[in-house]
């Protein structure tokens, strides 16, 4: 009996991930991951003031944070996904509009 599609996809990307990690080097990947965790911790300790109350009780896994208002560069790191997607789409729409005006796309 063939595996469900979700299992096939999972196995494909797991194999691809393992292949790329091996090519990069497992020790090197471990060191890079440690540096990333340290940088993330440093960013959190310098930017986050406290965890905010959950805006939606139906999504207990969603966490929101208040950032230090004296460090405006911290705000993008705590932006909610929906808000972030809206900003990306607005940027893309603006770019498409510019390219249409220049006649580079129809």
Long-range contacts, 71-78 (Cβ 8 Å, 24+): 71/46, 71/47, 74/43, 74/46, 74/47, 74/48, 77/43, 77/47, 78/47, 78/48
Q: Where are the domains of the chain?
A: 5-101
What is the model's pTM? 0.58
Q: What would the pLDDT profile of 79-99 be if each residue is shown by its tens digit?
A: 878 888 999 999 999 999 999
pLDDT average, residue stretch 8-27: 96
SS3 of residue 49 by DSSP: strand
Contact in structure between 88 and 97 (CB atoms under 8 Å): no
> What's CA 19's distance to the chain center, in Å?
23
pLDDT at 57 (0 to 100): 65
Please determine, for residue 15, whether its predicted confidence score (pLDDT) is greater than 90.
yes
């Amino acid at each position: 009996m063939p595996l469900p599609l979700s299992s096939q996809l999972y196995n494909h990307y797991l194999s691809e991930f393992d292949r790329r990690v091996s090519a990069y080097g497992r020790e090197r990947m471990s060191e890079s991951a440690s540096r990333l965790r340290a940088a993330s911790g440093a960013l959190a300790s310098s930017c986050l003031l406290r965890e905010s109350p959950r805006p939606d009780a139906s999504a207990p896994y969603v966490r929101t944070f208040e950032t230090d208002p004296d460090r405006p560069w911290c705000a993008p790191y705590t932006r909610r996904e929906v808000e972030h997607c809206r900003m990306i789409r607005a940027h893309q729409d603006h770019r498409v509009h510019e390219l249409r005006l220049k006649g580079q796309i129809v």
